[in-house]
Structure 1
Amino acid sequence: MERKNWSLCSAGQWLWDAEPMRWRRVFSGRADQVRSARTFATQLFAGTSREDDVAVVVTELATNAVRHSRSGAQRGWFGLEVTLADIAYVAVTDQGGGCVPSVQADRSDGEPWVSGRGLLMVSKLALATGVYGSPYLGYTVWADIDLRADAKGDPTREVSMVS
């Protein structure tokens, strides 16, 4: 493995080296831990101009894990994985037992966001979203967030979940 001479580069070059930075963390499957997961991820994205988007994504994915899977049961847990690169990866893994996570259709009747529309909101903030797993082994729901773009996700853009 080649050792680089970091004294010849800037702090930004060191921070954004070719290897993506990756974190995994496990949280207790309780509602109060959703806030902890959101804070953890938001701090990792500080200075990217996408902190608020990441906060929404993590909040929605972690809340779904706690509410709709065995992760919310006694001694349950959910996992958060974050990879920082030009296209960042944010994923939450649950313990299964619930329904298959899916994006609900957009409401055209002007109603405000209601339960069941969180993954739609995530899909509009992300470059791509998806889900893999099973009700027996657990699901991982993920979102790719483009850190090269300063603007928030386009709320009129249609994105579908992939498996």
Structure 2
Amino acid sequence: MTTQARTFTRHARSVGRARDYVASLVGAADRADDIRVCVSELVTNALRHTPAGRVFLVRVRAEEHLVRIEVHDAGDGEPRVCSPADTDDRGRGLLLVAALADDWGTTDRHGPGKVVWAAFKLPGVPPAQ
């Protein structure tokens, strides 16, 4: 298993930078497009919920048949899947993550905030028994 992590500033440009960072680690792996979309959504949420002046961390854990993306932020609140109206211009991020990732969730972290993660099974994963 390999684990890589990088911090990003609370700035709109960090969404693309985090997406590029993760893409450089997963390369052309199967599901790379799904992973990139989910990174964008998780990082966008971190930007909205990270207090000014704080940074957030993106961690990628890669195993032979699994990639787990974690976004650590210092923001309050518990992420939840919304049910936006057709005319709403936000609220679909976690719907996309839930649809594209094989699993996702939140965990506590040391200090303020939370970790929001998404996991992606890669081809060759044996079915659950």
- Bin of the TM-score, shorter chain as denominator length: 0.7 to 0.9
**Cα deviation per residue 1:93-132 (whole Å; 9 max; x = unaligned)?**
00123x2111124x6x7x3784111011001111110012
- Give the Cα separation in 2 of the matches to 1:76 and 1:34: 15
The correspondence of residues 61-72 of structure 1 with structure 2, limited to 5 A, is 61-70=42-51
Would you say 1:84 and 2:62 are equivalent positions?
yes
- Give the Cα separation in 2 of the matches to 1:87 and 1:112: 36
* One-letter identity of the residue aligned with 1:100: E
Structure 1 residues 100 and 145 mapped into 2: Cα distance closer, same or farther (>3 Å)?
same
Task: Say what the alpha-carbon RMSD is for the aligned residues.
Answer: 2.0
Q: What is the aligned partner in structure 2 of residue 26 from structure 1? A: 7
TM-score normalised by structure 1 residue count: 0.68
Bigger Cα Rg = 1
Task: Structure 2 unaligned segments of length 5 or more: list them.
Answer: 125-129
1:137 to 103, 112, 125: 112
Aligned length: 122
Q: What is the aligned partner in structure 1 of residue 75 from structure 2? A: 96
Task: Structure 1 unaligned segments of length 5 or more: list them.
Answer: 1-19, 150-163
- Give the Cα separation in 2 of the matches to 1:83 and 1:30: 24
**Cα deviation per residue 1:17-44 (whole Å; 9 max; x = unaligned)?**
xxx1110111111111111100010111
* One-letter identity of the residue aligned with 1:137: P
The correspondence of residues 30-45 of structure 1 with structure 2, limited to 5 A, is 30-45=11-26
Structure 1 residues 22 and 112 mapped into 2: Cα distance closer, same or farther (>3 Å)?
farther
Would you say 1:127 and 2:102 are equivalent positions?
yes
TM-score normalised by structure 2 residue count: 0.85
